[in-house]
Each structure stands twice: as structure tokens, then as C-alpha cells.
Structure 1
Amino acid sequence: MINIPDFLPHCFPFLLIDKVIAYQNNKYLYALTKIANNSFFLNIHYPERPVFPGSIILEIIAQSSGLLEFISNGKLKKNEIYYLYKVNTLNFRCPIFANNILVIKVFVNESRNYITRFKGFITVKDKIVCNFYISCIRKCIY
């Protein structure tokens, strides 16, 4: 079992991945995130009809991708940073609401020169709600 806070540098309420359900080093990671009724992001985004923000969904994708990177290739060193480098494709097929359980499926598409390209999708009740193709980079900061 993966203890997510051991790998991601984020803290509550911005640690957005609840559970890793499967992974293979440098290949794929499947994770779960439950959108709680009392989610901070729901309460401020269209309060009359709360919709989970797309920008936070992108952060969930980035965290899932980073988690796969850190599990596969080691945690960040003190002089390193890992960040979202490029969003090639990000399609939202339908909105995400409270009590939805997101299944995030991330696949390594290509990795070289400290840049990793990921592709994948998010499902709710076996329906694809988002698909993506992103790049992340691991860099020395000093």
C-alpha cells in the first residue's frame, strides 16, 4: 500500500489523491479521489450548482503523474523541483459534482531528458469524464 504523503510534497487541503489502487513502475498508476460534499473547492465554485473546478482536476492529474514519477524513480532531492511543464490536451467531457468518485488512470507515454509525457483519463462510474496528455519535468533548482 502506498502512503501518498510519503511521496507528494502537498499538504491538506491540497493533497488531492486519496488512494493508489494499482501501479507499475514507469508504466501506469490508477488512483482514486472522492469529491466530498464539503470540499472547499465546491463551496466557492458556482455555489448554487456546485461543479468541481477544471483547474483542480488538472491538479489531480498532475499529482497522479507526479506520484507515478516519484514511486518509480525516487522522491525529489532537496535541490530538485518537479512541475507541470505542458498541457498538450485536456478535454472535459462532462462536469464533476459532489460525491463523485474519480478513477484517475495515468500512463507514461515517453520519458527522456528529465521530461516525462503522460496520457490518461478520468472516469466516474465507468464513464470517461476527462482525457489528457501532459508533460512534467524534474529540474535541479540550484
Structure 2
Amino acid sequence: MVYELPEELPGGGPRTPRKAGAGPTDLGSAIGFLILQSMLSVGLSVAGLFLLFGIDSCGAARCNYPMLEVALYLIPATAVASFIASVLGVIFRQRRRLSTWWIPAIGCVPAILAFVIATQLIDRGINP
């Protein structure tokens, strides 16, 4: 005798199949992208620091030092904040068995935007 489950459970609505969820390959991809995101963040921070070496020309001209200071801290602060948000997003979505590989890829966008903004701030700060 084979027992079949009823189409409708006693609690109400129809049964919904359980999600298969994100597998170990998705978590591996997310970790790989997190590593790439951290490498990109460090690279952009170093590139922003090298751009600030243009402050050497401020000996002969007037520079906007508060603007240059904002540019100095903008890239690393944004990179660290987006990395922490990406790690928390990966953990949160992985616990719910949802796809996570795209979170670090999107987490790179704020660091790149901060680099572009800091580049413009440095340019305006050195050449007011």
C-alpha cells in the first residue's frame, strides 16, 4: 500500500516545493569575488594615494587642502564599507539559501565611483 500526500495540507494552501538553494559552487564563487573585490579596493586606494603625490606642486601654488583631505579618505572608507556590506550580504543570503555570487560584484561599484569622485576632488584641489 502506497501512501500519497494530499494535494492540500490541513493548514490551508497548496504545497510548494522547497527551493534547492544555493550550492557550494555559488558560495565558492562569492568568496572568489570577495577576494577580487578586496584586491580591487586595495588597488584603487593605492592609485588614489599615488594621485595625491601631485600635492607636491602645492609649494608653488595655492591648493585646497580640506578637499584633498576628503579625497585621501574617501576611497579607503568607501572600499571598506562596501566590503563589509558585501560580506554581510553574502552571509545573509547564504543562510537563506539564495544566490550570492552577484553581491561582491555589485559591491565593487561604490569603490570605483569613489575613485572617480576622489580623482575629480584631487584635480580640483590641486588646481583651484
- Structure with the larger RCO, 1 or 2 (CA within 8 Å, 6+ apart): 2
TM-score, length of structure 1 as denominator length: 0.27
More helix per residue: 1 or 2?
2
More strand per residue: 1 or 2?
1
TM-score, length of structure 2 as denominator length: 0.30
Report the structure number with the largest CA radius of gyration: 2
